[in-house]
Amino acid sequence: MKKIPIILAVLFFCSTLFLVYAFVFRGRVVKSDDHRIAIQLSKENKDFALKEMRSFLVSVQQINEGIIYKDADAIYKAAKESGGKAVNHAPKGIMASLPIEFKKLGFSVHDQFDIIADSILKYKNFNTTHRQLNTMLKSCIVCHNTFKFVDESKNSN
Ligand code: HEC
């Protein structure tokens, strides 16, 4: 008789572990025919993520222009636009769809934008900004080579 509560406790423990694995680590991913990992997102979340990507590109261009014209304010503003504060606007549920490696890379890029902003404010060294931008672009490339987005209604892509 005492076995039933133990079995229930074990089942509860295992399902909690599974949920943590599914929502924090694995995300909603499927295989893709171009060897990238396809992340399944709702249309709303996919639109959000792609919009954020387009604003990353805008920030990159503006930072680059700031380097050319030695405009520290423009660099600061453009970098802050894509820094950590942008994460707060993420829609509910999107985090559960994203695998842990994607989240790590994404947070790292937001951090790198903040580092660019703080560094130009403090040191006004445009060569440093140029190098930081170059390093950050490598993170963009790593993620694009590893992941893609697909509609959650599709099973593979
Ligand atoms: C954590 C992963 C990740 C990082 C980091 C990342 N991207 Fe992306 N980006 C993606 C994915 C996934 C897509 C969708 C590609 C696909 O489905 O083929 C994408 C798409 C894009 C697009 C196309 C947007 C559209 O409307 O179709 C642009 C532009 C872009 N990224 C720019 C950047 C830039 C610039 C950086 C670096 C500052 C960056 N991304 C960093 C994952 C990332």
User: Is the CB of residue 148 below 6 angstroms from any atom belonging to ligand 1?
Assistant: yes
pLDDT level of residue 154 (50, 70, 90 thresholds): low
Indicate the residue type of 95.
Answer: M
Task: Provide, rounded to the nearest whole percent, the portion of the chain with pLDDT above 90.
Answer: 73
Phi, psi of 31 (to 5 degrees): -70, 155
Q: What is the pLDDT of residues 89-141, one digit of tens each?
A: 889 889 999 999 999 999 999 999 999 999 999 999 999 999 999 999 999 99
What's the CA gap between 151 and 112, in Å, rounded? 29
- Cα(73) to centroid of ligand 1, in Å? 26
User: Is the CB of residue 102 below 6 angstroms from any atom belonging to ligand 1?
Assistant: yes
pLDDT at 156 over 60: no
For each of the domains in the chain, give its residue range(s) and CATH number, in order of start: 28-151 (1.20.120)
User: Is the CB of residue 149 below 6 angstroms from any atom belonging to ligand 1?
Assistant: yes
User: Model-level pTM?
Assistant: 0.90
- Cα(118) to centroid of ligand 1, in Å? 24
- Cα(1) to centroid of ligand 1, in Å? 56
- Cα(9) to centroid of ligand 1, in Å? 43
pLDDT averaged over every residue in the chain: 92
pLDDT of 11: 85
Looking from the CA of residue 57, the nearest atom of ligand 1 is 35
pLDDT at 56 over 80: yes
CA distances to 30, 40, 41, 58, 93 from 155, rounded to whole Å, are 7, 8, 11, 32, 19
- Residue nearest atom 33 in ligand 1 by C-alpha distance: 53
Contact 80, 117 (CB under 8 A): yes
